[in-house]
Amino acid sequence: MALRTRLTDRFKIEHPIFSAPMGFIAGGRLAAATSQAGGLGLIGGGYGDAEWLTREFGEVGNARVGCGFITWSLARRPELLDLALARAPAALMLSFGALAPFAQTIKRAGVPLICQAQTLAHAREAVAAGADVIVAQGGEAGGHGGTRATLTLTPEIVDYLAGAAPDTLLLAAGGIADGRGLAAALMLGADGVLIGSRLMASAEALTPPGFLDAILAADGDATVKTKVIDVVRSYDWPSGISGRALNTRFVAEWQGRENALAEPATRAAEAERYWRAFRAGEAEGTGVFMGEAVGLIHDAPPAARVIARIVGDAEHLLSNAGGFVAAPI
């Protein structure tokens, strides 16, 4: 069976599931596996690295995939958009930062434009930029995001779009890792979901094995919103956006002391420690972006199996949902 929504009709896919363009994590193999499983996969363009992007698009084979960029970082390397457009992507996604002029370039190329929104105000900007799809991303999501919750942001943007842009589709993102989350998102009025953390724990993700062990061991209380990882990496994110990550020893050590970490000599020394642990896959000594849904993740099978399970469970729940409705006692 399949789950049918406006999203599956519009993108001619079987299931209303996009994989999140997780920087460093969502390469060509994960994107391709997601698309082959009936969803749509997005390569994580991240901060932007032409060599990495070229290689990962090369891993896609015949699969139809899209790509996502961190908008403010893309503004410093605008040529990467052309690189992605040259691959005839199924969609391009912009997150975090001013949408113009990239939005126009993408639309002019006839490529569906996905814009990620952390607030209702962001959704208004996305509509103004001509977004074909908006992603309502709650702060329970792993990696960078805002503070609003998926559960309220999704229906509020649904209501806004019903008046302002009824043909714009909406995906819910943040906290969705199983069939229950997908079924809940559809009840909230979303046309589908964007899934990150759950697919970070899959065979095709570029997740270091040491990170995977930490992910499988963590419960949902084990993540924290933090700027520590951005500070040590010298990334200058817009205000209002922070990262959700496992509360590793490194993060806990500096949380609340970001100014001390930003002191140049300290930052240089800590960055060396950070990257050494990162390359070695030593989760406790570095930063591991991960959403609250980590408490719902207990294995790391191939992406096709993850998606089949999510869809199967959601189908079961949705098919039986009418059973809650009963005659009064």
Instruction: CB nearer to a copy of itself: give 144 or 148.
Output: 148
Say whether the peptide bond before residue 101 is cis (omega within 30 degrees of 0). Answer: yes
Q: Which residues bind a copy of itself (CB under 8 A)?
A: 1-5, 8, 12, 14, 38, 119-121, 138-140, 147-153, 155-156, 159, 174-178, 180-181, 183-189, 219-221, 225, 291-293, 295-296, 315, 317-322, 324-329
Edge-to-edge strands, sheet with 133-137: 17-19, 192-195, 169-173, 133-137, 113-117, 92-95, 65-70, 41-46
Instruction: CB nearer to a copy of itself: give 92 or 117.
Output: 117
Name the minimum Å distance from CB 195 to a copy of itself. 13
Name the minimum Å distance from CB 22 to a copy of itself. 18
Structure tokens at 310: 């999510």
Structure tokens at 298: 């207990």
Structure tokens at 130: 């001509």
Instruction: CB nearer to a copy of itself: give 9 or 82.
Output: 9
Is residue 251 within 8 Å of 227, Cβ to Cβ? no
CA dihedral 10, 203, 284, 67 (to 10 degrees): -30
- Between helix 28-36 and helix 303-320 the angle, nearest 10°, is 40
Instruction: CB nearer to a copy of itself: give 111 or 177.
Output: 177
Q: Which amino acid is at 173?
A: A
Name the minimum Å distance from CB 178 to a copy of itself. 7
Residue 85 CA: distances (Å) to CA of 54, 82, 88, 108, 228: 12, 5, 5, 11, 33
Name the minimum Å distance from CB 25 to a copy of itself. 19
Instruction: CB nearer to a copy of itself: give 28 or 139.
Output: 139
Per-residue b or e along 50-83, where b marks 16 or more CB atoms closer than 10 Å to that residue's CB: eebbeebbebbeebbbbbbbbbbbbeebeebbeb
Q: Which amino acid is at 237?
A: W
Name the minimum Å distance from CB 31 to a copy of itself. 20
Instruction: CB nearer to a copy of itself: give 55 or 316.
Output: 316
Q: Which amino acid is at 4?
A: R
Name the minimum Å distance from CB 197 to a copy of itself. 10
Instruction: CB nearer to a copy of itself: give 86 or 260.
Output: 260
Instruction: CB nearer to a copy of itself: give 104 or 319.
Output: 319
Name the minimum Å distance from CB 141 to a copy of itself. 9
In the three-class reduction of DSSP (H, G, I as helix; E, B as strand; rest coil), residue 257 is classed as coil
Name the minimum Å distance from CB 59 to a copy of itself. 26
